[in-house]
Amino acid sequence: MRLLLTEDEPYLASSLKKYLGNDGFIVDSTSTIRESQKALMSEMYDIVLLDLNLPDGDGLSLLEEIRTEYPRTAVIIITARGEVEDRVKGLNLGSDDYISKPFSMLELSARINAVVRRKFGLKNNSVELDGLSVHLDEMLVKADSDPLPVTKIEYNILRYLALNRGKTVSRISLAEHIWGNEVDDRFSLDFINSHIKNIRKKLKDAGKDQLIKTIYGVGYRIDKI
Amino acid sequence: MKLQYKIGLSNLIVSLLFLLITGFVLIHVVRKTVYQDLDQHLYYHKNSLINQLKQSQPDEDNDFDYGVVGSQEWVNLTKWKGKADSIPPNRIKTVYLKNGNKTIEYRELSTVVSSKGQFYRAQFLESVVQWQHIIRNVFLVTFGLLLTLILLLLIVNDVQFREILKPFYNTVKRLPHIRDATGFAERFDRSSTEEIDQLHQALNRMLKQLGSFFEEQKSFIQNASHELQTPLTIIYQKTESLMSDPDISEESLVELAQIQETAGRLSRLTKALLLISKIENKQFPMNDEVCLSDMAEKIISELSDFIEAMGIDVRLNFRDYPTVKASRELINALFYNLIQNALKFSTDNGIISVTGRWGADGGYKVQVQDTGKGISPELLPVVFDRFKKPDSKWNDSPGLGLSIVKSICDLHDFGLDMESELNKGTTVTVTIPTSSIISP
């Protein structure tokens, strides 16, 4: 999942980037409204973490823009301005959540997970598929309540396919959501194939080899139950 | 040669020439004056001889001399047998007479005088030797004075020129520092020297123009980036949202996926081209201090997914861990492209070594070596050209990685060299000049 972090405090930005990266997000970080606009224009993000106090203006204007231009992107506001009025204003403008500085990383994780749940229509922190559950708050996949040993990339692939269950995910979107867009796609697509092969092998061992469908020439799909 | 020295040298040459001419003219004039004086003296002797002859006649038969060679002056009188109507005119010339082994210079007046119907040839001689001493002394003193004067003038001139040319030299000294965009804001002050003022004004005009060209180009690249990326993102997003429609047919899905891949490819291509033009327009500040081995390590960890999946053994070996003055963003892109390229060429379970060591002929060499497919010799010279790819397998991916590497190296004045052998592997060497290395 791709996340855009707009935060002008470099230390906070780098630690958030590291933490969220470990959580399986591909994080791009920007420090101004202008940079964020550029990033949003050329990339697709699932979530934007938005600081309101930015050197070139109020983050609320960017929030409005995201709501009208990129309706599929969720926004979580981060700010030191904890006043109720601001919160209400942000939420009214369509932010999905609001977190005030200082906050713990765990709280941020929980809020991001809640937003992800809402965005993908989930009741709890795991996606339940035909006997397979993919947890969102930790790197855990269970097949009939037995943990399935998956690597980080395999987990990321499974999580993305599971969150988008019922939809066909093209290999290129999958690659971009896992590695960002810097990697040459001719190169990364081959890797998607081999990782899917490995995932299938593991699923087959757990008796779930029919879970991931290949749409030839397009990508993969996990059907909705 | 410095302008100042050039002026000094030409002054010196002209002065010496002037001194030489003055010397010759001086010698000539003094000599002439001395000769005139001597000649007058000789005529005086002639007159006094004529007077003397009026009173007493010389011996009938003998010639006589008043004085001998070596004397200051003497007269030589011989009978002359010519007719009265063929008397030759007075003749004055310089003669050199030998006295022992010494040659003495004399002025000689030869004339014919008469005394009581008898004609005599008279030769009056007067030595120049004494005068020569005077001439030499006058000459030496004058010459010495002139030489001292000229040297003094040269020194004064030099100091003066130094002072006058100071603003000019200051300008010249500043010019080499105006190398990239940050220098275009430099302005030169007005000067009281007309030419320097004109030069400064012209430089200011040019710098201003360069600055505005640069800004225009920069904003063009930025705008082009926006204008190209936005529609591509829209295409990409719309296809993705169409693809997530559960009722869509499989044929349409395939076509949508192709549209999406094409849009993605086009987007990457424009990004790469815009990056290259940004590099070529020197839009990256180049004053970061970048540790090469740290950067290589960072890129390897970023690409670790691929490295692990392919079972590649990456060997990192840097000597002395140097830090270079460069653009951090571009050094990042340099390593990213080099290592990603090595991965692309590699076969499963290959080896990639990233090494840094001091070159034998100066500079620091960073080498990325793989044991992969290699490049055929006929393609090797063109791999850095835009849109040339070493393998038809990557026909439809933009082969700009190596072009980016090349433009980054060109911008930083790094050397770039590639060696490859089919099925053996490829080695790319980047040579960083000593001038770019901050430490160690």
Predicted-complex ipTM score: 0.71
pLDDT at B435 over 70: yes
Give the other-Cβ count within 10 Å of A29's Cβ: 19
Mean pLDDT over the full length of chain A: 85
Asked whether the beta carbons of residue A185 and residue B265 sit closer than 8 angstroms, the reply is yes
Per-residue model confidence (pLDDT) at position B312: 92
Asked whether residue B56 carries a pLDDT value surpassing 80, the answer given is no
Cα nearest neighbour of A151 on chain B: B305
* A8-17, B142-151, B299-308, B385-394: range with lowest mean pLDDT: B385-394
The arithmetic mean of pLDDT across residues A75-96, rounded, is: 80
SS (H, E, C) chain B: CCHHHHHHHHHHHHHHHHHHHHHHHHHHHHHHHHHHHHHHHHHHHHHHHHHHHHHCCCCCCCCEEECCCCCCEEEEEEECCCCHHHCCCCEEEEEEEEECCEEEEEEEEEEEEEECCEEEEEEEEEECHHHHHHHHHHHHHHHHHHHHHHHHHHHHHHHHHHHHHHHHHHHHHHHHHCCCHHHHHCCCCCCCCHHHHHHHHHHHHHHHHHHHHHHHHHHHHHHHHHHHHHHHHHHHHHHHHHHCCCCCCHHHHHHHHHHHHHHHHHHHHHHHHHHHHHHHCCCCCCCEEEEHHHHHHHHHHHCHHHHHHHCCEEEEEECCCCEEEECHHHHHHHHHHHHHHHHHHCCCCCEEEEEEEECCCCCEEEEEEECCCCCCCCCHHHCCCCCCCCCHHHCCCCCCHHHHHHHHHHHHCCEEEEEEECCCEEEEEEEECHHHEEEC
Write out chain B residues lying below 8 Å of A216, CB-based.
254
Q: What CATH class has B194-279?
A: mainly alpha
pLDDT digits (tens, 9 = 90+) for B10-25: 988 998 898 889 888 9
- Whole-angstrom Cα distance, residue B418 to residue B190? 51
pLDDT of residue A185: 65
At the topology level, CATH places domain A2-119 in: Rossmann fold (3.40.50)
* pLDDT tens for each residue of B180-191: 777 888 888 888
Ranges A69-73, A82-86, A158-162, B160-164: which has the least confidence: A82-86
pLDDT of residue A3: 93
Among chain B residues, the shortest Cα distance to A219 is held by B257
Calpha distance A39→A51 (Å, rounded): 15
Mean per-residue pLDDT of chain B: 85
* B121-135 average pLDDT score: 84
pLDDT tier, B395 (very low <50, low <70, confident <90, very high otherwise): very low
A181 and B268 Cβ atoms separated by less than 8 Å: yes
Cβ <8 Å between B226 and A168: no
By mean pLDDT, which of A9-18, A198-207, B51-60, B224-233 is the weakest?
B51-60
- The Cα–Cα gap between B254 and B215 comes to 43
Q: What is the mean pLDDT of residues A121-150?
A: 85
Contact with chain A for residue B268, Cβ under 8 A? yes
Edge-first strand order for the sheet with A168-170 is A168-170, A219-222, A212-215
- Nearest chain B alpha carbon to A38: B226
Most confident of the ranges A73-87, A138-152, B195-209: B195-209
> Which CATH number is A126-222 given?
1.10.10.10
- The yes-or-no verdict on residue A86 having pLDDT over 80 is no
Q: Which of B225, B260, B344 sits opposite A170 (nearest CB)?
A: B260
What average pLDDT does the segment B64-82 reach?
Answer: 74
Site of tokens 């930005």: A13
Give the residue with greater pLDDT, A49 vs B104: A49
State whether residue A32 sits within 8 Å of chain B by CB.
no
What is the structure's pLDDT at B377?
83
Is the pLDDT reported for residue B254 higher than 50? yes
pLDDT band at B394 (very low <50, low <70, confident <90, very high): very low
Contacts of B273 in chain A (CB under 8 A): none
User: Taking CB atoms and an 8 Å limit, are A215 and B268 in contact across chains?
Assistant: no
Residue from B308, B273, B2, B356 nearest B158 by CA: B2
Establish whether the linkage from the previous residue to A147 is cis, with ω within 30° of 0.
Answer: no
- Mean pLDDT computed over B118-132: 84
Name chain B contacts of A191, Cβ cutoff 8 Å.
Answer: 305-306, 309
High-pLDDT (> 90) share of chain B, %: 21
Does residue B328 carry a pLDDT above 80? yes
For B397-411, the pLDDT digits (tens) are: 446 888 899 999 999
Say if A120 is an interface residue toward chain B (CB within 8 Å): no
pLDDT the model gives residue B391: 55
What's the confidence (pLDDT) of residue B365?
93
Helix (H, G, I), strand (E, B), or coil: what is residue A104? coil
Quote the pLDDT of residue A58. Answer: 85
User: Across the interface, do A44 and B254 touch by the CB < 8 Å criterion?
Assistant: no
Residues of B in contact with A44 (CB under 8 A): 233, 236-237, 240
pLDDT of residue A186: 65
Mean pLDDT confidence for B211-218: 86
Query: Is the pLDDT score of B308 beyond 70?
Result: yes
Domain ranges within chain A, ordered by starting residue: 2-119, 126-222
Decide if pLDDT at A41 tops 90. Answer: no
- CATH number for the segment(s) B286-439: 3.30.565.10
Q: Give the domain ranges of chain B.
A: 3-143, 194-279, 286-439
pLDDT at residue B397, as a whole number:
45
Which of the pair, A6 or B71, is modelled with greater confidence? A6
